[in-house]
Amino acid sequence: MSKRASVESTGEAYLELLAARGVEYFFGNAGTDFAPIIEAYARRGAHGQLLPRPITVPHEVPAVAMAHGYAMVTGRPQVVMVHVIVGAANALGGIINAARSNVPMLFSAGRNPITEAGFRGSRTRQIHWAQESFDQGAMFREFVKWDYELRNFAQLETVVDRALAITQAEPRGPVYLILPREVLAEKQESFEYADPPRAPRPSDAVAASDAIGEAARILAGARHPIVNVKALGRDPQAVQALVRLAETAALPVVDHFHTYMNFPQDHELHAGFDATPHLDEADAIVVIESDAPWFPHQKSPRPDAKLIQIGVDPLFSRYPIRGFGADVALAGTPRLTLDALAEAVRPLIDSRVAAERRARWAAEHAKLRERWAAGVRKVQGDRPIDMVWLSRCVGDLVDERTIVINEYDLDATQACFRTPGSYFNAPPAGGLGWGLGAALGAKLAAPDKTVICCVGDGAYIFGAPTAAHFVSRAYDVPVLFVVFNNRAWNAVKRAVRGYAPDGWVAKTGSMPLSDLEPAPDYELVCRASGGHAERVEDPAELPAALARGLRVVREEKRQALLNVICKKP
């Protein structure tokens, strides 16, 4: 079927098509190139056409992170548009995060006007000369799946549908569309497009049956198999598929540097968050959606261990170098592959061996949880506040209606996530500043849930907090922000100590370029945008302060922030 809409410009046709394709939000950081888009939005609003909803985000870092957070929760790509190449440059770190997290996103930027005169959108300001580049797409080409510049109105439907199809095809990732002002400004009277779209959408796929059979035989013959998983929970339906496989073959599951909730953490087969202690013993390792399942410079599996890699792209073919081997690589939709593997291994498993292995790991699971509980008991009264105690206090708030966005400092041992889609950790690329915007995007995607954003003070600064708190207030997106304030870049300090444990830093106690003192009063930044905010220094007061923040978020529908003063590393 086809549909015809009344429009006045190519820019308005673009918005019409995005709405028709199910895009709910248009996260914008505007410049002079936005004039046709803004005019089109004004006309659409006057005619009661409200989608995609425009969200003004006063910095590119939270703008991209909001689209990331929304797609992370829903699986549906949203649109981000920033100002020509200078805005795109600010956004690049967020695009790298989305690329390495396999998050779908239609990232767009205006293009500096091409013409000096003669067209509706021609150059009218001094910056229109200085901002032009020879190849605007080159800056992003390494980290997007596809990039293109819209040339004319006639190709609009093909270009947009292709962009949306490619971003959602596995392995998912951002695409980049450049929108010249002259093209957006072209006058039109109507726009006809196909509804629904006809662009190809590849279907889910399962790994080949012979490869699944080989993997099943490896698992059935192993005495000490383990599962090492990182990002399976990107597909919430895949979590239960992993549970079925683990229970069928009595496989312990390790959330190694996990970025999603991959496996119920109260399950007796959950084996913690560090695979390293198990590498000497493991004779078969199932690596699921993990780009770095161990660090060869520090520790590798035993040479005779059988390796099975499972993922939409087990090669991680967009990574320049990655040398983790595999005896079997199962490419395809992980939930389908895991279900097929569970069925294939079921008749091959020795029930006595499986029962013994499950009992062993159930006991190990109980010991782990007791060790973690004992650890927090030792530090719960420490002042400054220990991050382990802060993590436990946040963990005690988690229920099935809560989503936690964690940019680094929440200690996973002090919470217990059971529900798919309830936990999201920082992207593997580590572009700082992701957490604030991702939390806002997650709240937009799940307005009936409570969103808690845990960030280090360095990550908070990178997240353009003034812009993020503005968005929360302007669009009624209440989030509880918890700043783990240790007044330092701890990742930098750990790296230096690991690099030179007996070096000059150890000898002198001096570590330049890593401290964040004097620390700003972060609570004042949130208050400036109408939020509730507190500085917390007493560990005994922490549970009550968190409860007050939650009450504000849930009942008053306002944002809240706790600036928690933690031990300095």
Nearest alpha carbon to residue 234 among 73, 94, 99, 93: 73
Q: Which of 133, 140, 138 is nearest to 105 (CA)?
A: 140
* Average pLDDT over every residue of 415-428: 97
Find out whether 260 and 424 touch, Cβ atoms under 8 Å. Answer: yes
pLDDT band at residue 393 using 50, 70 and 90 as cut-offs: very high
Do 330 and 389 fall within a single domain? Answer: no
Report the C-alpha gap between 310 and 158 in whole angstroms: 33
- The answer to whether residue 268 sits within a structural domain is yes
What percentage of the chain has pLDDT greater than the value 90? 94
Mean pLDDT score, 311-337: 97
Reported as a single tens digit per residue, the pLDDT across 169-207 is 999 999 999 999 999 999 999 999 999 999 998 999 999
Q: Which residues in 297-427 belong to E strands, given as ranges?
A: 306-311, 328-331, 402-407, 423-425
Instruction: Please give the average per-residue pLDDT across 536-545, as a whole number.
Output: 98
410 has pLDDT over 90 = yes
* Mode of pairing for the β-strands spanning 306-311 and 190-194: unpaired
Residue 296: count other Cβ atoms within 10 Å of its Cβ: 10
Residue 121 in this model has a pLDDT that exceeds 90: no
Residue 396 lies in a domain: yes
**How many domains are contained in the chain?**
3
pLDDT category at 398 given cuts 50, 70, 90 is: very high
Omega of the bond leading into 171 within 30 degrees of 0 (cis): yes
Quote the tokens at residue 221: 């013959």
497, two tokens: 């100590």
Farthest-apart Cα atoms in the chain, separation? 82
Averaged pLDDT, 342-369? 97
Q: Do 34 and 94 fall within a single domain? A: yes
Q: What pairing do the DSSP bridges indicate for beta strands 2-6 and 190-194?
A: antiparallel
Q: Is residue 179 located within the same domain as residue 265?
A: no
pLDDT in the model for residue 491: 86
Residue 18 has a CB neighbour count (10 Å cut-off) of: 20
Decide: 178 and 137 in contact? Cβ < 8 Å. Answer: yes
Residue 335 makes CB contacts below 8 A (sequence gap 6+) with: 235, 237, 238, 241
The last residue of a domain, from among 194, 226, 247:
194
Q: What SS3 state is found at 192? A: strand
If asked whether residues 297 and 163 sit together in one domain, one would say no
The reported pLDDT for the residue numbered 1 is 87
Give per-residue pLDDT as tens, 494-532.
Answer: 888 889 999 999 899 899 999 999 999 999 999 999 999
Average pLDDT over residues 333-362: 97
Peptide bond before 303: cis, by omega within 30 degrees of 0? Answer: no
Note whether residue 203 is domain-resident: no
Q: What is d(CA 86, CA 106) in angstroms, rounded to the nearest whole number?
A: 18
* Residues 292 and 271: beta-carbon distance below 8 Å: no
Predicted local distance difference test score (pLDDT) of residue 88: 95
* pLDDT given at position 509: 87
Q: Domain limits at 340? A: 209-368
- Over the stretch 234-259, which tens digit does the pLDDT of each residue have? 999 999 999 999 999 999 999 999 99
Specify whether 221 is located in the same domain as 175: no
Residue 200 inside a domain? The answer is no
Q: Which of 333, 368, 403 is the last residue of a domain?
A: 368
Q: Are residues 364 and 386 in the same domain?
A: no
Q: 328 forms bridges with which residues in the sheet?
A: 308
Residue 205, token pair as written in the block: 């796929």
Q: Which residues of 406-423 are buried (b: 16+ CB within 10 A; e: fewer)?
A: bbbbbbbbbbebbbbbbb
- Assess contact for 308 and 328: CB atoms under 8 A: yes
Q: Say how far apart CA 160 and CA 368 lie, in whole Å.
A: 50
pLDDT at residue number 327: 98
Q: Are residues 409 and 550 in the same domain?
A: yes
Tell me whether residue 373 is in a domain.
Answer: no
In angstroms, rounded to a whole number, what is the distance separating the alpha carbons of residues 99 and 144? 7
Residue ending a domain, among 145, 161, 194, is 194
- 322/424 same-domain check: no
End-to-end CA distance of the chain: 62
Contact 68, 437 (CB under 8 A): yes
489 found inside a domain: yes
pLDDT at site 15 = 98
Task: List the CATH number of the domain containing 558.
Answer: 3.40.50.970
Domain-located, residue 79: yes
For residue 560, what pLDDT is reported? 98
What is the average pLDDT across 210-231?
98
> For the segment 437-495, what is each residue's pLDDT rounded down to a tens digit?
999 999 999 999 999 999 999 999 999 999 999 999 999 999 999 999 999 988 888 88
- Mean of pLDDT values over 363-376: 98
- What is the reported pLDDT for 494? 86
Residue-averaged pLDDT of the chain? 96
Q: Are residues 433 and 289 in the same domain?
A: no
Verify that 38 and 115 share a domain, yes or no: yes
User: If you average pLDDT over residues 420-425, what whole number do you get?
Assistant: 98
* 277 shares its domain with 393: no
Q: How many CB atoms lie within 10 A of CB 320?
A: 6
CATH code, 282: 3.40.50.1220
pLDDT reported for residue 489: 86
**Angle at Cα 563 formed by Cα 557 and Cα 569, nearest 5°?**
145
Do 21 and 168 have their domain in common? yes
Sign of CA dihedral 138, 139, 143, 146: negative
> What is the bridge-based pairing of β-strands 306-311 and 328-331?
parallel
374 lies in some domain: no
